[in-house]
Structure 1
């Protein structure tokens, strides 16, 4: 039986948007307990960091974020543009993230595309998958067949 932190066992109210906001806030603060409270209590939750392997399960996912947060670090990532698909008990967010990275020349922005999948669980909406692409320093353009002007 897995031991849960008090925050993970607590109910987070709200919708997928609020869980996503809590997830990015926890990334920026380096708050592992708050970050893990956003995840579903399922064995098959997955996380793929840019260029990394598929990480399965809460223990493995927690370890990857703990490594990122080591020595007081945090991930400076902001969701800039979000496309959403909502269907009853599931919600998929495709997110253009602006990530601040440190280079030898100083801080610069990189752009990452992430897909966050949320399910409505007994504890409320929770993250079941986070998949982030490798970043680029040039802003990612969006290709769409949606009209540029709505009437």
Structure 2
């Protein structure tokens, strides 16, 4: 089996490789985006906190058993601090339902760190989807904490 293509040299490159791997259900390429740290973390919409490579890989393997995940980053806001980059992402996720194709909007946070292997993902945290596209300028309706 050939080695997975590693993402090139920026956080944006790693993010593009991550979403491309999702869209092609390519577990090897997807896992190549993650850092080698034991404490990497992933939270899927409405799911538990998954810690470490084995748990994250198992969750994506289960997802890919149903096919590719058609998630496309529509809007990305970045905070770069040199060795760390935090991306606040609005994902457009296409889903096929009994009523036909639908779109869900998911808010996600992706955290990247510059490692010896280049920029790698430390965390992916995604909110439950909404049928309504988020508005970055809408006033807050409720403060949770």
Normalising by structure 1, what TM-score?
A: 0.87
Residue correspondence of structure 1 range 1-151 to structure 2 within 5 A: 6-7=3-4, 12-71=7-66, 73-143=67-137
Q: Provide closer, same or farther for how the CA distance between residues 109 and 144 of structure 1 changes in structure 2, counting only shifts above 3 A.
A: closer
C-alpha contact 2:6 2:33 (8 A) present in aligned 1: no
- Cα separation, 2, equivalents of 1:56 and 1:143: 33
What do the CA deviations read for 1:59-114 (whole angstroms, capped 9, x no partner)? Answer: 1000000000015x010000000000000100000000000012211111110000
- Cα separation, 1, equivalents of 2:119 and 2:63: 25
Unaligned runs of 5+ in 2: 140-145
* RMSD after superposition: 1.7
Divergent runs of 4+, >6 A: none
C-alpha contact 2:75 2:90 (8 A) present in aligned 1: yes
Equivalences, count: 138
- Cα separation, 1, equivalents of 2:38 and 2:91: 27
C-alpha displacement of 1:13: 2.7
C-alpha displacement of 1:12: 3.7
- Cα separation, 2, equivalents of 1:129 and 1:33: 17
Unaligned runs of 5+ in 1: 146-151
